[in-house]
A and B are shown apart, each in its own frame.
Chain A
């Protein structure tokens, strides 16, 4: 609860907020400049490139919807769909697995387990790119150590597929979920559980009616973060599956810095714009829900 301030003026609800000083925005200026330069500028350039086209012969630039249209057709559309599918699937599995692991860590009485698990999660959540891809190639590729020992090949295991890529993504997504959900799980007061038990609730009822609703915003936030990480991942997929699992980041790389397709730069920018829109849509679902129930976890 907010502590009522002794200030005689102003309604009680507004007392927590300090009256803005005349030049407080100055303190935020470096941040604003940084954001404007490092985020706004590229986004502006991206937007401009996505909706304009330059004629190669004359060098004249004109407004056009052609690139956006092309980015939503054929293989480009397929790559957007493929990326959303892969990201959604891995984010769901990663969230569930991450929460279960985090709950096990939180309820464990051993502090060394907790610190070891958190450290490992911190390292693994940042392990990605080509090194991760090669680690998997060496262990679970066709001639990988584990594949050979456990004869995974005869069981139908194939690292270079949608499934294989999902497993690799989960390798860094699950620890990421553990990291972001542990503080929320810590915030679940034991008193709530005791209160529920005292009124005769079963464990399941506690989770269904108290635990999960309170955790919902954090879970959703974790899911959004995982979705974003998987959606933006590029190097791992590029090294692992090349063009055989259609992903939008790979398509952007093909169009932007390839040796084969000429003059596709603007389509790449249009694809990036599509990605921003999709990420924006996901955020749009998350933010209102988060605001609704975040107050429980103060």
Chain B
């Protein structure tokens, strides 16, 4: 009997069976391009013989497989439409709600198949581990030199694309005084009101929330424990509700205060304006934490030229501005603000942040995650 509660398990089993069964449909080798090298070995547009040749090669393939790009996340819906409109390439979007682990699994399981994802949008830890496993093709987009060194792999196997700050979203119709800082969240007036976007051992944004809370409570990038303690205290006081905040719980008013990325919270504000929810977003000053996602190209991409053109598109002023329109902060935003190519209207609408973001190192991130996996359950139950 299959009931929805078991669907997850059934899907896993089914997926395991399918991956074993569908070892057919080999992808064509990257065809020779106008330039010197094959498309799947090219490391820049120059290898094709310039952007024009890259566009031609990509349009000849005519297809691009993407995975894990929710249309309502950081404006991906519009990005895909704009790409399809600009080039003669059909984007087939698979499993928009997949996680980074799912993306890596799809790349591994469909090696050499036409349906394998061409490009990936990954959490930073997965970008690093995937590069270490040799899953990604090195490729440097034309604006490569403008990406800060700390936000890219020296070999070009992955580079950060867009990100945002941990923010506190708040339904001003239900909450009289919206909290501005993590310290505020402990006030008794927020009893049964504070939620995270998911479980921090699974969801990247919830993990960011705990990290930011750690920074707000004398923690460091290497020491996330104060953040775990903060949520334990929040739970003890009855303020924290463990339900995963989603657009549905926000609209219903069940999660009137939600800790989430600022671009998602700002997006909710737009989405719910006409529905009786006055969603306010603030980036807490005591725990400023920003995190970026990364782009990577599948080493064995079935549409190697289209994959590279997609990257060029994302890191062009047009692509970056589309992310910006979705309230995400594209990686080139600082230089684009300087040279005036950033869309000023979109910049003005971003939630206000004081100070510049710092990023944890790989080792610090691993340490924090290990501590979280070990101690989160204990603290919260």
Contact status B243-A259, CB under 8 Å? no
Residues of chain B within 8 A of A258, CB atoms compared:
99-101, 201-203
- A232-B241 in contact given A138-B252, A143-B253, A261-B373 (Cβ < 8 Å): no
- A41-B5 in contact given A242-B196, A243-B199, A260-B201 (Cβ < 8 Å): no
Contact status B7-A235, CB under 8 Å? yes
CB contact between A129 and one of B5, B13, B125 (< 8 Å): that residue: B5
| A142 contacts chain B at the CB level, 8 A cutoff | yes
Residues of chain B within 8 A of A78, CB atoms compared:
377-378
Bound: A42/B254 CA distance, A: 39
Contact status B243-A137, CB under 8 Å? yes
| A89 contacts chain B at the CB level, 8 A cutoff | no
| B126 contacts chain A at the CB level, 8 A cutoff | yes
Main SS at interface, chain A: helix
Main SS at interface, chain B: helix
Please give the number of chain B residues whose Cβ is less than 8 angstroms from any Cβ of chain A in the complex: 59
Residues of chain B within 8 A of A243, CB atoms compared:
199-202, 242, 376-377, 380
- A45-B102 in contact given A128-B4, A243-B242, A260-B369 (Cβ < 8 Å): no
Residues of chain B within 8 A of A233, CB atoms compared:
5-6
Encoded as 1 (CB less than 8 Å from any B CB) or 0, chain A from 118 to 145 comes to: 0000000111111110100110011110
Residue on A nearest B101 in the bound complex, by CB: A257
Residue on B nearest A128 in the bound complex, by CB: B5
- A259-B203 in contact given A45-B20, A137-B243, A138-B252 (Cβ < 8 Å): yes
| B8 contacts chain A at the CB level, 8 A cutoff | yes
Contact status A235-B20, CB under 8 Å? no
| B248 contacts chain A at the CB level, 8 A cutoff | yes
Beyond A144-B254, A265-B105: 5 further Cβ-contacts under 8 Å? A45-B20, A75-B373, A128-B4, A159-B243, A244-B235
Bound: A82/B101 CA distance, A: 25
Contact status B376-A232, CB under 8 Å? no
| A160 contacts chain B at the CB level, 8 A cutoff | yes
Residues of chain B within 8 A of A50, CB atoms compared:
none
- Tell me the minimal C-beta distance from B248 to chain A in angstroms: 6
Residues of chain A within 8 A of B256, CB atoms compared:
143
Identify 6 residue pairs between A and B in the complex whose beta-carbon atoms are under 8 Å apart, listed by A's number.
A144-B254, A160-B243, A234-B9, A243-B376, A257-B101, A259-B203
Q: Among the listed stretches A5-13, A103-111, A197-205, A248-256, which one makes contact with chain B, having 4 or more residues with CB under 8 Å of it?
A: A248-256
Contact status B4-A137, CB under 8 Å? no
